[in-house]
Amino acid sequence: MARSVVLRGVPRCPHCQIAPRWCVCAESRAVALPFALDVLMHNSEVWKPTSTGNLIRRVVPASRRIVWHNQCLPRREDVVRDGGADALWILHPRGEALEDVLRDQREQPPPGAGALENLRVLLIDGTWAQANDMLRHVDGWGRKVRLPVSALRGESRYWLRAQHSAGHFSTIEALIALLNALGFASESDTIRGQFEMHVYAMLLARGHKTRAGQFLAGSPIGASMPELVRQLQAGSGRAGAIAK
């Protein structure tokens, strides 16, 4: 089935936003994070099934989505809660090194969950041009923090959109990398599995079977979610079978 399946107004699962035939909700796993999480999402991303900001909202139910619109800008008090600016990290490549921030806060990685309980992390979700506009608006609200180079290696696994240059990763990949850098491998692995399954299913829904096969070859989901992978390959996911 061709990409037109996505472009036409076909029914979609209200949860994963994928056509029921490739619904991935059977393997949905919620994750609790050691810190509070906000996603500042450009309004153009809100209804896109490919958006990893929307995926974060599903995988991390306690997270907040703050929609950015240039005619209705979010306020500082909507984001910065108790604890003030020092308790808010704005994740961005132009920020301070994570290692320096942890040292300043006298936290040695990997910290225990309690060490981050007063922390709120803000992720910026949009195109790179949109993200730069949003960053200018929130600059000064908190501490800009960048991930170590070792946390984001290789190429992005976000095969649903073209990456403008090397080193560009999706919003959810930045979250995965942050969790790894802080030593929360279990949470990171669970979110990565949900992310990779989302990409794989969307590739199939677009009719890109060859590319989906290439993606699967480098993914852990073949081993961690084999039954759902088989169902998706057959084009009759669990939700699709129920719908019939």
* 3 state SS for 188-208: HHHHHHHHHHHHHHHHHHCCC
Nearest CA among 168, 163, 218, 173 for reference residue 194: 173
Confidence check: pLDDT of 8 > 60 = no
Strand extents, DSSP E, the chain: 36-42, 64-68, 88-97, 120-125, 143-146
Per-residue pLDDT, 80: 79
Picking from 2-11, 111-120, 140-149, which range would have the lowest pLDDT averaged per residue?
A: 2-11
Provide mean pLDDT across the span 212-224: 96
Confidence check: pLDDT of 132 > 80 = yes
Q: How confident is the model at residue 3 (pLDDT cuts 50, 70, 90)?
A: very low
Confidence check: pLDDT of 242 > 50 = no
Confidence check: pLDDT of 128 > 90 = no
Provide mean pLDDT across the span 169-196: 95
Confidence check: pLDDT of 198 > 80 = yes
Q: How confident is the model at residue 9 (pLDDT cuts 50, 70, 90)?
A: low
Q: Give the pair of three-digit tokens for residue 178.
A: 């942050």
Confidence check: pLDDT of 111 > 90 = no
Provide mean pLDDT across the span 138-143: 91
Which strand ranges, in their side-by-side order, compose the sheet holding 64-68? 64-68, 36-42, 120-125, 88-97, 143-146
Confidence check: pLDDT of 7 > 90 = no
- When mean pLDDT is compared over 74-78, 86-90, 121-125, the highest value belongs to 121-125
Torsions phi, psi for 4 (to 5 deg): -60, -20
Percent of the chain with pLDDT over 90: 58
Confidence check: pLDDT of 45 > 90 = yes
Residue 207: exposed, middle, or buried by beta-carbon count in 10 A (0-12, 13-18, 19+)?
Answer: middle
C-alpha 206, offset from chain centre: 20
Q: How confident is the model at residue 149 (pLDDT cuts 50, 70, 90)?
A: confident
Cα 53 from Cα 75, distance rounded (Å): 20
Q: How confident is the model at residue 12 (pLDDT cuts 50, 70, 90)?
A: confident
On average, the pLDDT of the chain sits at 84
Per-residue pLDDT, 11: 84
Per-residue pLDDT, 239: 39
Per-residue pLDDT, 240: 38
Tell whether the torsion through CA atoms of 191, 168, 135 and 149 is positive or negative.
positive
Provide mean pLDDT across the span 178-194: 96
Picking from 2-16, 101-115, 116-130, 187-201, which range would have the lowest pLDDT averaged per residue?
A: 101-115
19 touches 6 (CB < 8 A): yes
